[in-house]
Amino acid sequence: MAVTTDTYATPARSFALPKIRTRHVIMVLYLAFMLIPIYWLVKMSLQTNREIMGGFTLWPQNPTLDNYRTILTDRSWYIGYINSITYVVMNTVLSLAVALPAAYAFSRYRFLGDKHLFFWLLTNRMAPPAVFALPFFQLYSSVGLFDTHIAVALAHTLFNVPLAVWILEGFMRGVPKEIDETAYIDGYSFPRFFVKIFMPLIASGIGVAAFFCFMFSWVELLLSRTLTAVNAQPIASIMTRTVGASGIDWGVLAAAGVLTIVPGALVIYFVRNYIAKGFALGRV
Amino acid sequence: MDKVQNNKAWFLVLPVLVLVAFSAVIPLMTVVNYSVQDTFGNNVFFWEGLTWFQEVLTSRQVHSALGRQLMFSGIILAIQIPLGILIALCMPKKGVWASVCLVLMALPLLIPWNVVGTIWQILGRTDIGFLGYTLNSLGISWNYSRNPLHAWIIVVTMDVWHWTSLVALLAYAGLQSIPQAYYQAAKIDQASRWKVFRYIELPKMQGVLLIAILLRFMDSFMIYTEPFVVTGGGPGTATSFLSIDLVKMALGQFDLGPAAAFSIMYFLVILLVSWVFYTVMTNLDKAEGR
């Protein structure tokens, strides 16, 4: 027996060695392709405009944090980040608050029209923001919400609520139904059971759903730009300010871009194993 | 899981229903309203019937935008799906390096879309951009704001950079679910690497790949911000896709009627693909016995 495994193992090993190398090469090349554009942005954010326009360099000759200082000390700049974070957090809280009970209903019960409703939610996740830009503008103008954070937060629920419902439903049906039944026998009321027992069980699911709501609201520009003018302007549209009469302020533009990447980059480590599940609406 | 019939569950769904109705149904009804009427301002409307639909359906501008859109979606699917599978196969299976790869690959997915556009706009410039400068010094006269082909190359490259990781992550999740025993059995049968891929890995990835294809199709079909920032739809109309045309029509020229008719037909396509998506998803759930 030992002999037979050996005869099989030897060719396999000699065959496997060069294959592993190609794998590594492909992976390294791909990661380089991923990182070069980001590196380039970071590099430019550490340079002065004169140095950027002065000549082509692969790394900053005299690294400076001036561009970041400009953004973080000028209120008209950093207010954009505050605005963005305000509506993104409002949207995340709102989306999760309404999605949690709905996802529970979808994962536990059959009811009249459940499948149609679930499908209808999906169509909203897939709806092109361009279709909604103009009607949203008119709707929120007519109710006096134009240029407020809540308008953008509400507009983003269009795709974030369906996303949260689908992701949470995916996590919830992994929880055995016996747990619910036991809790009811023990005399728990539904709200108490839901908050005290059920939510801790799907804590990771709630975290993932929150991350994806945060992210999709953070990266979206078309709707947030259409619905704001001055008071609730997101950082993304403030960035266009760098194009001035004297040309483009490349260094500050790059620094502003880098600062928009930071929030996602900080939390991605925690959800790394669920990224695929989140993007696939809880279905992997 | 066998679910209990309980119509009281409607109370749990009600908040979602109210919220999404406010942010989806009301705006959609506005669109429907505009699509059959005309106005000269002051909120005075005239019934127009199907005029706008006819205009949009026969408009050469819309036809060519649709053509460009389908070509774009086709090209990026043809690149991203095979590339994503390849990357997923090359990723480390476990350990620290798997985490490192996951995090680094997911980075482009989390960048705001206009920043993605800005990054590539800079990268493609010949004076300060890595890509443009390198191509120029290789003797290619690179100019993406004048040459339509170059504009296409940069928009497609940008999308590949932005979204291939999504396909790779989904395929990777599919690969992770294959039990080790399958590979051992293949080894005993002395199956070639290609056969392992063709008869074990590909069938097991089928479900997630369908999801990946549909998601990529949908999202590329409504792409707006990134090409708008990089090329502004130009040169000429070379890279103006459906959403760019629609926003130009609705918010730029304020042609409400045609824009609304356009929106409704756009939405019907989305509805159709969503339905395919939903069917795939539910069949997948059934196949997994859940």
A149 in Cβ contact with A158 (< 8 Å): no
The verdict on A20 and A102 lying in the same domain is no
Between CA B241 and CA B238 the distance in angstroms is: 9
In a domain, A176, yes or no: yes
Domain boundaries B59-287, corresponding CATH code = 1.10.3720.10
Checking if the pLDDT of B290 tops 70, the result is no
Per-residue model confidence as pLDDT tens digits over B238-275: 888 988 888 888 877 777 788 888 888 888 888 888 88
A91 in Cβ contact with A157 (< 8 Å): yes
Q: pTM above 0.80?
A: yes
Write out residues 226-245 of B within 8 Å (CB-CB) of A: 242-244
Instruction: With beta carbons under 8 A apart, name residues in chain A contacting B246.
Output: 128, 130-131
Checking if the pLDDT of B6 tops 90, the result is no
Could you list the residue range(s) of the whole structural domain that residue A173 is in?
Answer: 77-279
Residue B172 is predicted with a pLDDT of 92
In a domain, A216, yes or no: yes
The verdict on A31 and A118 lying in the same domain is no
Partnered with residue A243 across adjacent β-strands are: A248
Q: How large is the average pLDDT for residues B213-219?
A: 89
Residue B163 is predicted with a pLDDT of 94
Q: Which two tokens stand for residue A52?
A: 């950027």
The structural domains of chain B, with segments of one domain joined by +, span 59-287
In a domain, A29, yes or no: yes
In a domain, A142, yes or no: yes
Between CA A131 and CA A202 the distance in angstroms is: 35
Q: Which residue from B19, B111, B173 is facing A219, i.e. has the nearest CB?
A: B111
CATH number at residue A90: 1.10.3720.10
Q: How large is the average pLDDT for residues B168-173?
A: 92
In one-letter notation, the amino acid at residue B81 is I
Between CA A273 and CA B173 the distance in angstroms is: 9
Question: Read out DSSP for B244-284?
Answer: HHHHIIIIIS--HHHHHHHHHHHHHHHHHHHHHHHHHHHHH
Between CA A190 and CA A109 the distance in angstroms is: 14
Which residues, 6 or more positions from B66, have their beta carbon under 8 angstroms from its beta carbon? B242
Per-residue model confidence as pLDDT tens digits over A17-36: 555 678 889 999 999 999 99
Between CA B60 and CA B80 the distance in angstroms is: 30
Domain count, chain A: 2
In a domain, A47, yes or no: no
Q: How many CB pairs under 8 A join A and B?
A: 277
Residue B145 pLDDT grade (very low, low, confident, very high; cuts 50, 70, 90): confident
The verdict on A270 and A165 lying in the same domain is yes
Per-residue model confidence as pLDDT tens digits over B53-106: 888 888 888 889 999 999 999 999 999 999 999 999 998 888 888 889 999 998
The verdict on A33 and A87 lying in the same domain is no
The verdict on A20 and A129 lying in the same domain is no
In a domain, A252, yes or no: yes
Task: Mark yes or no for CB contact B16/A119 under 8 Å.
Answer: no
Per-residue model confidence as pLDDT tens digits over B115-140: 999 999 889 888 888 888 888 888 88
Asked if the C-beta of A68 comes within 8 angstroms of chain B's C-beta atoms, the answer is no
Per-residue model confidence as pLDDT tens digits over B24-57: 888 888 888 888 887 766 667 778 778 888 888 8
Which residues, 6 or more positions from B281, have their beta carbon under 8 angstroms from its beta carbon? A281, A283, B211
pLDDT in tens, chain A (284 residues): 444 444 444 444 444 455 567 888 999 999 999 999 999 999 999 988 888 888 788 888 888 898 899 889 988 888 999 999 999 999 999 999 999 999 999 999 999 888 889 888 888 888 888 888 888 988 899 889 999 999 999 999 999 999 999 999 989 988 998 998 899 899 999 899 999 999 999 998 999 999 999 999 999 888 998 899 888 888 888 887 777 666 778 888 899 999 999 988 888 888 888 888 888 887 77
Residue B42 is predicted with a pLDDT of 62
Report the candidate in A169, A22, A31 with the shortest Cα–Cα distance to residue B168: A31
What region, left, alpha or beta, does residue A210 occupy, with left being phi > 0 and alpha being psi -120 to 50 degrees?
alpha
Helix locations, chain A, DSSP H: 2-45, 49-54, 66-73, 75-108, 114-126, 129-142, 149-172, 177-185, 190-193, 199-201, 203-219, 222-226, 235-238, 250-267, 275-279
Tell me whether strands B4-5 and A109-110 are parallel, antiparallel or unpaired: parallel
Residue A2 is predicted with a pLDDT of 44
ipTM of the complex: 0.86
In a domain, A69, yes or no: no
Write out residues 200-219 of A within 8 Å (CB-CB) of B: 215, 218-219
Task: Mark yes or no for CB contact B23/A154 under 8 Å.
Answer: yes
Q: Which residue from A161, A279, A284 is facing B19, i.e. has the nearest CB?
A: A161
Residue A88 is predicted with a pLDDT of 94
